[in-house]
Amino acid sequence: MNYTFFVMLRALPAWLQLSREARKSLADEHMGAALARSEGLLTMRYFDAEAFSSPCSEVVMVETRDPRHHYFFMEQLRDSPLFSVPYFEVLNIVSTIEDGYQTYEAQGLPSA
């Protein structure tokens, strides 16, 4: 079963006041390190949303076969300056199961 988590973030003024080079360095150092510690147990994609959405400015999509890996990834980010300075505010996390209904139906359980 594949789990996908959509993490909606808002970039805060402290982040936006940094130069683009400083932002890239911080993201590489902390987000990159959290991904590296995940050792291929999850994947992450990053989407800019500020030109299209409010209040969310960024969406991080995390995919894994075990939700614990997402939890551990988020704990690492919480311990980093990305969330502790704070540079970003977590607005919402939407947890999903890819094709969950198909897995349910394959179980052959009676429907209500």
Q: What is the 3-state secondary structure (H, E, C) of 33-78?
A: HHHHHCCCCEEEEEEECCCCCCCCCEEEEEEECCHHHHHHHHHHHH
Q: Note the pLDDT tens digit of each residue in 26-64.
A: 999 999 999 999 988 999 999 999 999 888 999 999 999
Q: Shortest CA distance to 77 belongs to which of 29, 39, 19?
A: 29
- Rounded to 5 degrees, what are φ and ψ at 90? -85, 120
Sign of CA dihedral 16, 62, 77, 8: positive
Q: How confident is the model at residue 5 (pLDDT cuts 50, 70, 90)?
A: very high
pLDDT reading at 112 higher than 80: no
Model pTM greater than 0.75?
A: yes
Domain map (residue ranges) of the chain: 3-100
Fold classified for 3-100: Alpha-Beta Plaits (3.30.70)
